Amino acid sequence: MNKKERPAQQGLYRQEFEHENCGIGFVAHIKGKKSHSIIRQGLEVLENMTHRGAEGADKKTGDGAGLLMQVPRDFYLIQGYALPPAGQFGTGLIFLSQDSSDALRCREILLSIIKEEGVNLIGFREVPRNNSVIGEIARAAEPEIVQILLGADIHQDDLERKLYIIRKRAENIIRDSDIKQKSFFYLPSLSTKVLIYKGMLTSMQL
């Protein structure tokens, strides 16, 4: 898009912030209000960016598609989880090896670090997913996915820092361990504010 084709400056839009990218869409409420309609619009944006994502030889394995959103506290409350007030709990997805012994060791290391950092484990949540639509390449590298919920009675910014430290410490310790399938262990996010769901998916699969 050349400068003449760009929209006129209006609202929060500035021509000087216009850049090319590899396929990112952004939908938000200007006052931070959460709603399911924002998620729906985000998925519509993703559907319109299929031309920006590469596919594997099986035509069903994407080079990566994901969604970042605000932590949906009410959603977990409806499901029966007892949670502290917003800002005093965090959550994230954990990618684990399909090998049960490797997955167990990774969990043990993570839980040990969580305890050392003075954060409380609220629980784990199984993540519903459907792998019947993904390609053979993606299925061969498909991790086990669980969600973790953590809490602490401290200021949100302090908890946010602790969650970051937990995530980085766990990834580093497991990477340097003798666990066979340690490359499967990954935390896309661990935060009081945002949640990331992603994988070797195409836009339409997500």
Active site positions, annotated = 22
Q: Which of 155, 32, 163 is nearest to 85 (CA)?
A: 155
DSSP secondary structure letters along 1-15: --GGGSPPPBTTB-G
User: How far is the C-alpha of 153 from the C-alpha of 34, rounded, in Å?
Assistant: 24
Task: Count the alpha carbons within 13 Å of 181 in the hemisphere toward its beta carbon.
Answer: 16
DSSP element (H, E) containing 125 = strand 120-126
User: How far is the C-alpha of 167 from the C-alpha of 187, rounded, in Å?
Assistant: 7
